[in-house]
Structure 1
Amino acid sequence: MTTLSTFTFRAATEADIPAIVALVESAYRGDSGRRGWTTESDLLDGQRTDAADVADAMSRPDSCILLLERDDRLLASCHLERKGEAAYFGMFAVDPARQAGGLGKQLLGEAERLAREDWGCRLMEMTVIVQREELIAWYERRGYRRTGSYKPFPYGQERFGIPRRDDLRFELLVKELAGVAV
């Protein structure tokens, strides 16, 4: 567990699963997601995740859900998974009512630190829906670069959401993690 000013970072436990699902759903889908600036509500309907998906991510080797809390209240979360010399960053969610206040930047920084210092990763990777230009620009300001490598959206698999358009795809973004502890 790491504490930064009044915020605490820690790995999620099974008891956190309902709160993580609620946070992710509120940040990505429906009217609650529209309160923040990172919503996918105009691109996708349906669920973003569920308890089984979160439990699966937590149970895999070299994988964790990282939480940012204040006064025992969940404010942000992300999934990290080590894949060799790279760490995959995903399922990033910040409480929509608290977006644009620096919480996401703090959690991303802690995720990068963990990947670099604890796991010895040289790269952080993520995939972002290409239509989310404002979000991609936010990552670029934090040192991520677009690779031009794309993955198709999993149309027909409702567990990833119900697309509202037919041109969705993901782009791989990467960042070199300086000062890797070996």
Structure 2
Amino acid sequence: MQSLKFRKAELTDLDRLLHLINLAYRENPIQSWTNEADYVSGQRINKLQLQQALMDDNYHLYVAEVDDVISTTSLIGCIGLAFNAEEVEIGTFCVDPVFQNAGVGRVILSFAETQALLIQPNLRLYMMYVLDIRSELIAYYQRRGYSLTQVRKPYPIDANVGKPLLNIELQQLIKHVS
């Protein structure tokens, strides 16, 4: 695997990001780490939501890229950081299914944790929400040092991020900054 390059997402990335996020979460016909198609229908994000997120000063979306064989750059992953006081919520984390199971996600998550500390040096807590029925994904984050909390939220139907096909909730995971 070639080394990853990271940069902050730009408005010119909208179409590629929209495709990547929806492919990884909802459209991919094979079961991938982030795929939720069996649990949630509809788009994971639309162009307006993504555009608004990129313009939010408290939100930072980073893209991971590799150089491909024809000397262009391929966007293969992304991760978002939303800051609040002394904590950061990690979300919009995905890897192109073609590149999954190769350690890319681990590198992206590590980059995001380091980047969050550079942006907010007084950071005390990393936080994320995962669908409660995604036990393999929860286990992955636990191997990365995250712990389950007692906090659960209803699936955000009003946020226009898809409709649940099952009775699901969002489970909070946290990791204290060491």
- Identity over aligned residues, as a percent? 32
Alignment-derived partner of residue 34 in structure 1: 30
Asked if structure 2 preserves the Cα contact closer than 8 Å seen for 1:116 and 1:122, the reply is no
Q: Secondary structure at the match of 2:94?
A: strand
Asked if structure 2 preserves the Cα contact closer than 8 Å seen for 1:33 and 1:40, the reply is no
Query: Which of 15, 40, 46 is matched with 1:18 structurally?
Result: 15
Any unmatched runs of 5+ in structure 2? Answer: 68-72
Asked if structure 2 preserves the Cα contact closer than 8 Å seen for 1:44 and 1:163, the reply is yes
| Distance (Å, rounded) in 1 between the aligned partners of 2:170 and 2:31 | 24
Query: Which of 129, 139, 142 is matched with 1:140 structurally?
Result: 142
> TM-score, normalised on structure 1?
0.89
Asked if structure 2 preserves the Cα contact closer than 8 Å seen for 1:126 and 1:173, the reply is yes
| Distance (Å, rounded) in 1 between the aligned partners of 2:75 and 2:29 | 16
Q: Secondary structure at the match of 2:160?
A: helix
Q: Secondary structure at the match of 2:110?
A: helix
The one-letter amino acid of 1:7's match is: L
The alpha-carbon distance between structure 1 residues 172 and 47, as it changes in their structure 2 partners (threshold 3 A), is same
Question: How far apart are residue 36 of structure 1 and its match?
Answer: 1.9
Is residue 168 from structure 1 mapped to residue 168 from structure 2 by the alignment?
A: yes
CA RMSD of aligned residues (A): 1.4
The one-letter amino acid of 2:7's match is: R
Asked if structure 2 preserves the Cα contact closer than 8 Å seen for 1:36 and 1:97, the reply is no
Any unmatched runs of 5+ in structure 1? Answer: none
Asked if structure 2 preserves the Cα contact closer than 8 Å seen for 1:89 and 1:124, the reply is yes
| Distance (Å, rounded) in 2 between the aligned partners of 1:88 and 1:33 | 28
Query: Which of 56, 61, 64 is matched with 1:65 structurally?
Result: 61
How far does the alpha carbon of each residue in 1:94-119 deviate from its partner, in whole angstroms, 9 at most, with x for none? 00111111111101000000112331
Aligned residues between the structures: 171
